[in-house]
Structure 1
Amino acid sequence: MDAVSAAAPRSKGDVEPLVRLAAADMAAVDALIIERMQSQVPVIPLLADHLVAAGGKRLRPMLTVAAARAAGATGDIDAPRKLAAAVEFIHTATLLHDDVVDASDMRRGKVAAHLIWGAPSSVLVGDFLFARAFELMVETGQMRALGILAKASSVISEGEVLQLTRAHDLNLDHDTYLQIISAKTAELFAAAAEAGAVGCGAGEAEIAALRAYGLNLGLAFQLADDALDYGGTSEALGKNAGDDFREGKVTLPLLLAAARTKGTEDAFWDRTINSGDRNEADFVRARALVIGSGAIGATLDLAGDYADLARAALDVLPDSDWRAALEQLADFAVSRAA
Structure 2
Amino acid sequence: MERVNAMILSRTGSDVTMIPEVANHLISSGGKRLRPMLTLAMADLCGYQGEGQVKLAASVEFMHTATLLHDDVVDESDMRRGKLAARMLWGNEASVLVGDFLLGQAFKMMVEVGSLRALDILSTAAAVIAEGEVLQLSVAKNTETTEDEYLSVIRGKTAELFAAACEVGPVIAGSSKANEAACRSYGLNLGIAFQLIDDALDYGGVAAKLGKNTGDDFREGKITLPVVLSFRRGSSEERAFWKRTLQDGAIEDGDLEQAQTLMRKHKALEDTIERARHYAKMAKDALGLFPASPMKQALNDAVDFCIARAH
Bucket of the pairwise TM-score, normalised by the shorter protein: over 0.9
TM-score where L is the length of structure 2: 0.98
1:284 and 2:254 aligned: no
Which residue number in structure 2 is paired with residue 312 of structure 1? 285
By how many angstroms is 1:226 displaced?
0.3
Structure 2, unaligned stretches of length 5 or more? none
- Find the aligned partners of 2:221 and 2:104 in 1 and give their Cα distance: 32
Which range moved further: 155-164 or 64-73? 64-73
By how many angstroms is 1:280 displaced?
4.4
**Structure 2 matches for 1:106-125, cutoff 5 A?**
106-125=79-98
**Structure 2 matches for 1:1-150, cutoff 5 A?**
26-74=1-49, 77-150=50-123
Q: Kindly, what percent of the aligned residue pairs are identical?
A: 54
1:40 maps to amino acid = D
- Find the aligned partners of 1:280 and 1:250 in 2 and give their Cα distance: 20
- Find the aligned partners of 1:327 and 1:303 in 2 and give their Cα distance: 15
- Find the aligned partners of 1:257 and 1:202 in 2 and give their Cα distance: 44
- Select 2:139's aligned residue among 166, 180, 185: 166
Which residue number in structure 2 is paired with residue 5 of structure 1? none
Which residue number in structure 1 is paired with residue 171 of structure 2? 198
**Structure 2 matches for 1:225-304, cutoff 5 A?**
225-304=198-277
By how many angstroms is 1:132 displaced?
0.2
2:186 maps to amino acid = Y
- Count of aligned residue pairs for this structure pair: 311
| Contact 1:68 1:202 survives alignment (8 Å) | no
| Contact 1:80 1:200 survives alignment (8 Å) | no
Which residue number in structure 2 is paired with residue 3 of structure 1? none
- Find the aligned partners of 2:24 and 2:220 in 1 and give their Cα distance: 26
By how many angstroms is 1:262 displaced?
2.2
By how many angstroms is 1:56 displaced?
2.5
- Find the aligned partners of 1:68 and 1:34 in 2 and give their Cα distance: 22
- Find the aligned partners of 1:292 and 1:236 in 2 and give their Cα distance: 24
**Cα deviation per residue 1:255-288 (whole Å; 9 max; x = unaligned)?**
1111222233122112111211113421121112
2:37 maps to amino acid = M
| Contact 2:48 2:172 survives alignment (8 Å) | no
| Contact 1:226 1:251 survives alignment (8 Å) | yes
By how many angstroms is 1:210 displaced?
0.4
- Find the aligned partners of 2:244 and 2:72 in 1 and give their Cα distance: 24
1:207 and 2:205 aligned: no
Q: Secondary structure at the match of 2:31?
A: coil
| Contact 1:86 1:136 survives alignment (8 Å) | yes
1:303 maps to amino acid = A
| Contact 1:194 1:208 survives alignment (8 Å) | yes
1:174 maps to amino acid = E
- Find the aligned partners of 2:14 and 2:21 in 1 and give their Cα distance: 10
Alignment RMSD, CA only?
1.0
Give every structure 1 segment of 4 or more consecutive aligned residues whose post-TM-superposition deviation is greater than 4 Å: none
- Find the aligned partners of 1:167 and 1:229 in 2 and give their Cα distance: 16
- Find the aligned partners of 1:264 and 1:310 in 2 and give their Cα distance: 39
**Cα deviation per residue 1:105-132 (whole Å; 9 max; x = unaligned)?**
1111110000000000000000000000
Q: Secondary structure at the match of 2:222?
A: coil
Q: Secondary structure at the match of 2:174?
A: coil
By how many angstroms is 1:45 displaced?
0.1
TM-score where L is the length of structure 1: 0.90
Q: Secondary structure at the match of 1:91?
A: helix
- Find the aligned partners of 1:81 and 1:279 in 2 and give their Cα distance: 48
1:53 maps to amino acid = S
| Contact 2:4 2:58 survives alignment (8 Å) | yes
**Cα deviation per residue 1:133-161 (whole Å; 9 max; x = unaligned)?**
00000000011000000000000000000
| Contact 1:38 1:45 survives alignment (8 Å) | yes
- Find the aligned partners of 1:238 and 1:92 in 2 and give their Cα distance: 15
Structure 1, unaligned stretches of length 5 or more? 1-25
By how many angstroms is 1:325 displaced?
0.8
- Find the aligned partners of 2:28 and 2:147 in 1 and give their Cα distance: 36
1:322 maps to amino acid = M
1:157 maps to amino acid = A
- Which structure has more RCO (C-alpha within 8 Å, separation ≥ 6)? 1
